[in-house]
Chain A
């Protein structure tokens, strides 16, 4: 079969099984858009800004496990996509981003809409390619998907000069079934001896902790993780990226750990004697002050990326490998082992944990006349029966969603954890809804974050992706305000906007349903009404307490055992005082 470059790109995507491309046209990709126009297999989703294309593809990828595909033009199209590429990179999300480039002969001449996309994205991609020969186009696309989806996943950019997609130049086309790269062989199986060592250490533990992260979600290993936890009876904590990998409603779950993790999770980490880190990377928001991190623990670390191991925290038993097969092997060895966890010691460990749990670090004032953001998330959880896909932006609302929506399944919690990208939530929700049209999809956001990609309300109408936007409107950039309160003596420098749009009218203007809710008793009915409107995008503008803070909190430079709580253990709660 002979095809031109533009047709090769689209045919390759089709052969790769791509369902959706998220993109925006422009000069350098006009040949490609002409090829898109002449087929129906690969559906193109026209966003309103290239950043949103990457976030939507990213949301699609996080929810489905399949790579997200983006198409943007050269120059500003490409640079607009960079934030989304970096977002995917920090959370190890597989994306293939195709960017147009000026024609090969004018590359380097500061041509119209020319930027060095390969250079600009180099530090925030897993790999990138500049295609110089149309004969290598199909193979390059295959390589891009291979690199993006295997090993530790990540975004891959393919920069295609306009002349490579010239409709007049046709070459033989065959999409390779497989590619091998001599310089890229991601590890799969873990080292048996290391796994054995880990098992011995685990079975000898007196105060064990299972600390699992996004790698368990990406590696489709949540079943194995759950089996391991149940077999051992050990407590489990998840990172922000790992939520849902172990059911939050399981009694062995002690909550999220880290800066806004639960008191019990962080105290248990601090006191633990053996920690097994599974697909987690000891991020600074998790560890707090490094020299106070888990001072009594021997650490086992399973990760597919050798560079993640002993990067910030020195580990005792490193295991490089894909979490799923490693956990399977571990389960076998535990079952075969003569050793069993010491029941008595485990029981006293659980008793200790229950004491920390009894502090109820997530309690808040439930009698408030002003809507508390935590209450909204609890109601959202109940109304959606804990089974919705929740995307979020970045800030306080993100932490409330992580703390109060109890994710029981992986891939349901979709947020920008590593890069912390405001504007992520709405386009990501659109991507999720396209993948799962029948599922409930909500974007938990704030009035600051939502304005960063608000234009995508228009995309949501065009493609009929009825998501529910839960806007926790506290008239502040809440997390910035919280830090300013705690560490800058309440000097609220530019953490509020003097003008905020009327979101109800705005939703209406974009063709959606807008609701304003400002009384606690209206929250539940409004959410029920919104989710009952199956075919409408609903923007719920919920006026919440301006001064509410996210608790508990490990402030910068402190350790896990040194948490700031809403109320100190033993002191009465707001409710008891009222």
Chain B
């Protein structure tokens, strides 16, 4: 099963490599990983998407908790949560394709954030599934490049992951 593990950790050099190293050393897979400092500059928040049986996920969370730099973590998949990923897609444009790309971008609630005579950059956020659907909807021959942040997430309701 797919799990989204949200980790609050010390914002220190080497902390990221401890997490990445743990996954490679123990043979766990990382589907995506995104990390940035929080409102408290000494802490970073990492969102890690992984897959595994319940036993494996239990070990992953225990091993992560054991890392000295990890302050707290939750498995977002265990309860109701919101998940978002940012994507930017650069597409080739011609007089014939511009209208269709604008329409699709509207339907998917994206925005065009860069325009040249021959290209658009479309910005879009949503769940990973929605972003996949957008990619599938546009002609793959027109895609110049795709960049995705990997999902990040937050739990619903009052409770939160903080100190």
Contacts of B10 in A (CB 8 A): 183
Q: Is the CB of A126 within 8 A of B68?
A: yes
Q: Is the CB of B58 within 8 A of A310?
A: yes
**In the complex, which residue of chain A has the Cβ closest to the Cβ of B24?**
A123
For the complex, is A577 an interface residue (Cβ under 8 Å from B)? Answer: no
**CB interface residues, B 6-59, toward A, < 8 Å:** 9-10, 13-14, 17-18, 21, 25, 55, 58-59
Binary interface profile of A, 171-191, with partner B (CB < 8 Å = 1, else 0)? 000000000011110000000
Q: Is the CB of A310 within 8 A of B55?
A: yes
A86, chain B: closest CB distance, angstroms: 12
Q: Is the CB of A123 within 8 A of B69?
A: no
Q: Is the CB of A183 within 8 A of B9?
A: yes
Contacts of B71 in A (CB 8 A): 182-183
For the complex, is A44 an interface residue (Cβ under 8 Å from B)? Answer: no
**In the complex, which residue of chain B has the Cβ closest to the Cβ of A118?**
B14
Q: Is the CB of B68 within 8 A of A184?
A: yes
| C-alpha spacing A119/B13, complex, angstroms | 11
User: A122-B21, A130-B14 are contacts. A306–B62 as well, Cβ < 8 Å?
Assistant: yes
**In the complex, which residue of chain B has the Cβ closest to the Cβ of A127?**
B68
**CB interface residues, A 180-215, toward B, < 8 Å:** 181-184
* Interface of B: prevailing SS: helix
Q: How many residues of chain B get a CB closer than 8 Å to chain A's CBs?
A: 20
| C-alpha spacing A411/B13, complex, angstroms | 38
For the complex, is A305 an interface residue (Cβ under 8 Å from B)? Answer: yes
Q: Is the CB of A181 within 8 A of B17?
A: no
Quick one: which of A130, A184, A309 has the most chain B CB within 10 A? A184
| C-alpha spacing A98/B62, complex, angstroms | 28
For the complex, is A1 an interface residue (Cβ under 8 Å from B)? Answer: no
- Contact size range, A: 10 to 19
Residue from the list A123, A181, A307 in contact with B59, Cβ < 8 A: A307
Binary interface profile of B, 137-148, with partner A (CB < 8 Å = 1, else 0)? 000000000000
Residue from the list B21, B55, B70 in contact with A183, Cβ < 8 A: B70
For the complex, is B65 an interface residue (Cβ under 8 Å from A)? Answer: yes
| C-alpha spacing A288/B63, complex, angstroms | 24
For the complex, is A335 an interface residue (Cβ under 8 Å from B)? Answer: no
Contacts of B163 in A (CB 8 A): 182
- Could you write out 29 A-B pairs with CB less than 8 Å apart? A119-B17, A122-B14, A122-B17, A122-B18, A122-B21, A123-B21, A126-B68, A130-B13, A130-B14, A147-B68, A181-B68, A182-B71, A182-B163, A183-B9, A183-B69, A183-B70, A183-B71, A184-B68, A305-B66, A306-B62, A306-B65, A306-B66, A307-B63, A307-B66, A309-B62, A310-B55, A310-B58, A311-B59, A314-B55
8 closest residue pairs by CB, A with B: A307-B62, A127-B68, A183-B71, A123-B25, A306-B62, A184-B68, A307-B66, A307-B63
- Apart from A182-B71, A184-B68: 14 A-B pairs, beta carbons within 8 A: A119-B17, A123-B21, A127-B68, A147-B68, A181-B68, A182-B163, A183-B10, A183-B69, A183-B71, A307-B63, A307-B66, A309-B62, A310-B55, A311-B59
